[in-house]
Amino acid sequence: MVDAGIRAPSGSNRQGWKFIVVTDPEIKNQLGDSIERLGIFMLKNFMEVLQTWEHLMSLMMKRLSK
């Protein structure tokens, strides 16, 4: 998988990535927990941003229809 990642295209061929291979099961579990918390945080904030965007679009549409 790392080999495929190394060969993957990047914008402007910048190839600005680095890889760290983790083999320790305890560290993998800790990383998994952290990523899960991050995903929940991002989803919660995304929903708030989406609701705000929908509200603003609704106000704008009402204003344009007058």
Express as a percent the part of the chain with pLDDT over 70.
100
Q: What's the distance, CA 55 to chain centroid?
A: 23
Mean pLDDT of the chain: 87
DSSP letter string, 11-30:
GGG-----------HHHHHH
- Residue 31 and residue 22 in contact, taking contact as beta carbons nearer than 8 Å: yes
- Can you tell me the distance from the alpha carbon of 66 to that of 64, in angstroms, rounded to the nearest whole number? 6
Calculate the CA dihedral of residues 43, 19, 26, 24 and round it to 10 degrees. Answer: 160
pLDDT of residue 61: 92
When pLDDT is averaged across residues 21-43 and rounded to a whole number, the result is 90
